């Protein structure tokens, strides 16, 4: 069954064939990864629009993945797919660790289309502001980048002042 809301590329980090099939319903190209290392390698290579993680990964795994991905300038939304027995309180923990959204399991699969529409809206909004370099997906990382940019400019200005002072003759 083909969906209206398709993303170009989705990485499914799962050994579960059901998660792979879910990704195939919403992605034109789907890439599978068994673990975080594989996922990072694939993400660097194919630049996907979405990364789906299955219930094998806990919030600290997602946090670790996002930290490593951010070092490689990767800014891709992550959706975690829980199993049907998942605790609903776990979704808040995943979101707090940087996941874009959380599906409670099979009964929540239909929400993926809504999530993809939100992702597309965020992509369109960021395309309208190409000169603003900030994270659309991770609020914590967004704050870091907001601080980083002024510090970078300050360091650049200090370096320029130093260079100029080197060429001013002393009396």
Q: Name the CA dihedral angle for 144, 50, 57, 67, rounded to a multiple of 10 degrees.
A: -20
Cα–Cα dist 146/149, whole Å? 6
Least confident of 2-16, 42-56, 144-158: 144-158
48 vs 131, residue with greater confidence = 48
Domains in the chain, number? 2
- 97 and 157 part of one domain: no
Residue 134 has pLDDT above 70, yes or no: no
Q: Which of 28-32, 85-89, 97-101 has the lowest mean pLDDT?
A: 85-89
H helices, E strands: number in the chain: 6, 5
Best-predicted range by mean pLDDT (55-69, 80-94, 124-138): 55-69
d(CA 111, CA 88): 15
Question: Are residues 100 and 163 located together in one domain of the fold?
Answer: no
| Structural domain range at position 122 | 7-131
Confidence of residue 84 (pLDDT cuts 50, 70, 90): confident
Q: Which residues of 113-122 are buried (b: 16+ CB within 10 A; e: fewer)?
A: eebbeebeee
Q: What angle do CA 70, 32, 85 make, to 5 degrees?
A: 90
3-state secondary structure of 116: helix
Are 47 and 96 contained in the same domain?
A: yes
Note the pLDDT of residue 53: 93
Task: Based on the fold, state whether residues 167 and 122 are members of the same structural domain.
Answer: no
Radius of gyration of the chain (CA): 20
- How confident is the model at residue 167, as a pLDDT? 77
Q: What is the CATH number of the domain that holds 39?
A: 3.40.50.2300
Residue 82, phi then psi, degrees to nearest 5:
-80, 175
Q: Is 103 left (phi over 0), alpha (psi -120 to 50) or beta?
A: beta
Write down the pTM of the prediction. Answer: 0.69
Identify the helix (H) or strand (E) that includes residue 123: helix 111-128
* Residue 90: partners with Cβ closer than 8 Å, 6 or more residues away: 59, 82, 102
Question: In this structure, are residues 135 and 145 in contact, taking their beta carbons and an 8 Å threshold?
Answer: yes
Question: Does any domain span residue 45?
Answer: yes
pLDDT (mean) for 40-54 = 91
Tens of pLDDT along 12-28?
999 999 999 999 999 99
Please report whether residue 1 resides in a domain: no
For residues 98 and 66, the answer to whether their CB atoms sit within 8 Å is yes
């Amino acid at each position: 069954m083909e969906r209206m809301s398709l993303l170009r590329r989705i990485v499914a980090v799962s050994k579960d064939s059901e998660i792979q099939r879910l990704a195939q319903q919403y992605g034109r190209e789907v890439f599978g990864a068994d673990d975080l290392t594989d996922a990072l390698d694939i993400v660097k290579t194919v630049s996907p629009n979405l990364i789906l993680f299955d219930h094998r990964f806990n919030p600290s795994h997602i946090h670790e993945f996002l930290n490593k991905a951010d070092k490689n300038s990767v800014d891709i939304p992550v959706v975690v797919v829980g199993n049907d027995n998942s605790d609903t309180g776990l979704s808040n923990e995943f979101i707090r660790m940087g996941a874009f959204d959380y599906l409670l399991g099979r009964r929540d699969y239909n929400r993926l289309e809504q999530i993809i529409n939100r992702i597309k809206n965020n992509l369109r909004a960021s395309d309208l502001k190409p000169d603003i370099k900030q994270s659309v997906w991770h609020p914590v990382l967004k704050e870091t980048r907001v601080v980083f940019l002024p510090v970078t400019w300050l360091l650049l200005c200090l370096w320029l002042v130093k260079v100029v002072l080197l060429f001013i003759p002393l009396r």
